[in-house]
């Protein structure tokens, strides 16, 4: 392992997505990541081998029963040589298994401990799966058509976002050179990602409303039907509008303020203009003008157009690391077999 995080030793205790995604990103960058798995393994092993591989490539696996004295002894041995521990369990389990900096500092005072939970360590053990958190934090209420029901994105945005935040917090504390405890909750991460919506409510009393995927400030910035397929158009300033309007044959609405004030009229005008061509046709016409636009693609189509994003790891074809670092070629190892690197017989 020769990546920028080579030499960093991270322990992971957790299941399914948020925590394993965080540590996989670290492993892609060269960290040595050891999964401390219970006797039955990470629950994601029960979903499918491909699912497990998508979150656990390039890691080691140690199988331990942390409810036993032998399991705790082995954990403490691992902790002595580790730089960080990332735990993705409910708060009571984190405390019960002694997976906090307070409990582990006698074995390694410089250990960085990250507790990745749904609602926070002091909030109890209420279920905190991705879709539950999206519903509770206002994400679902903002998603969907104005006259329709709230909707959820088609992927685990809360888990993935929290994983990224946990990895960042871990690295920040490691960089400080001090051990300590970090808390990251799915709730806090999703509220943070509602940044400008939250600020508008907290400062101006302006509650966000469901706009069918349209942006709250920029107009037009949403999906539009075309003669065939849908087009994402994202006009964030007047220069983009001038270029788009010239190609689409639209006059007027020269400023963002005017377009925002006459939102419904602008959307109707743009919708009528875009009906003259297909989504891929508009994309081809607008890209040379540097107008932000893209035809809606399926995931298979998107992957077919991005072969450089696909890697091979232990016989699985997966999406590779999102980090492109000059001079570094990531090594994508296979996902570990349960207990492959030690632990229970």
> Domain containing 91 — which CATH number?
3.40.50.10540
**Is 335 a member of any domain?**
no
pLDDT at 262: 97
**Do 166 and 19 meet the contact criterion of CB atoms below 8 Å apart?**
yes
Q: How far is residue 25's CA from residue 19's CA, in Å, rounded to a whole number?
A: 10
Helix (H) or strand (E) holding 286, with range, is helix 279-286
**Is 4 a member of any domain?**
no
pLDDT at 1: 54
Query: Which residue among 28, 83, 130, 159 is the active-site one?
Result: 159
Q: How far is residue 273's CA from residue 66's CA, in Å, rounded to a whole number?
A: 63
**Is 74 a member of any domain?**
yes
Is the domain of 109 the same as that of 63? yes
Is the domain of 127 the same as that of 255? no
pLDDT at 341: 96
Work out how many domains the chain is built from and give that number: 2
Q: Which regions in the chain score pLDDT beneath 50?
A: 345
DSSP letter assigned to residue 3? S
Is the domain of 261 the same as that of 184? no
Active site residue 159: yes
Is the domain of 51 the same as that of 182? yes
**Is 34 a member of any domain?**
yes
**Is 211 a member of any domain?**
no
**Is 134 a member of any domain?**
yes
Q: Output the CA–CA distances (angstroms, integers) from residue 66 to 43, 72, 101, in the order listed.
A: 16, 5, 16
pLDDT at 343: 84
Is the domain of 157 the same as that of 235? no
Q: Nearest 5°: CA angle at 336, between 303 and 14?
A: 90
Is the domain of 287 the same as that of 315? no
Is the domain of 21 the same as that of 151? yes
Range of the domain at 259: 221-225+230-295
User: In the beta sheet, which residues pair with residue 102?
Assistant: none
Is the domain of 140 the same as that of 267? no
Torsion angle (degrees, nearest 10) of CA 177, 26, 48, 184: 50
| CB half-sphere exposure, 15, CA atoms < 13 A | 18
């Amino acid at each position: 392992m020769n990546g920028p995080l080579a030499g960093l030793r991270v322990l992971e205790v957790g299941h399914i997505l948020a925590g394993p995604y965080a540590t996989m990103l670290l492993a892609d960058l060269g960290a040595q990541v050891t999964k401390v798995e219970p006797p039955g393994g990470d629950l994601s092993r029960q979903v499918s081998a491909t699912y497990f591989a998508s979150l656990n490539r390039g890691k080691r696996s140690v199988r331990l029963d942390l409810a036993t004295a032998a399991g705790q002894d082995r954990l403490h041995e691992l902790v002595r040589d580790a730089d960080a521990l990332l735990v993705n369990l409910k708060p009571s389990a984190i405390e019960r298994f002694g997976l906090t900096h307070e409990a582990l500092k006698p074995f390694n005072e410089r250990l960085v401990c990250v507790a990745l939970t749904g609602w926070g360590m002091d909030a109890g053990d209420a279920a905190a799966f991705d879709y539950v958190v999206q519903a509770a934090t206002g994400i679902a209420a903002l998603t969907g058509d104005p006259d329709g029901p709230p909707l959820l994105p088609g992927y685990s945005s809360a888990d993935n976002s929290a994983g990224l935040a946990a990895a960042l917090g871990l690295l920040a504390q490691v960089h400080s050179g001090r051990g300590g405890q970090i808390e990251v909750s799915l709730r806090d991460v999703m509220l943070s990602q509602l940044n400008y919506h939250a600020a508008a409510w907290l400062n101006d009393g302006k509650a966000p409303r469901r706009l069918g995927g349209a942006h709250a400030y920029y107009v037009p910035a949403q999906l539009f039907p075309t003669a065939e397929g849908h087009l994402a158009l994202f006009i964030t300033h007047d220069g983009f509008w001038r270029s788009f309007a010239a190609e689409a044959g639209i006059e007027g609405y020269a400023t963002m303020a005017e377009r925002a004030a006459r939102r419904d009229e602008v959307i109707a005008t743009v919708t009528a203009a875009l009906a003259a061509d297909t989504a891929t046709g508009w994309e081809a016409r607008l890209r040379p003008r540097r107008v932000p636009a893209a035809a809606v693609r399926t995931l298979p189509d998107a992957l077919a157009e991005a072969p450089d994003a696909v890697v091979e790891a232990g016989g699985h074809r997966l999406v590779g690391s999102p980090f492109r670092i000059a001079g570094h070629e990531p090594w994508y190892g296979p996902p570990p077999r349960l207990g492959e690197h030690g632990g229970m017989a």
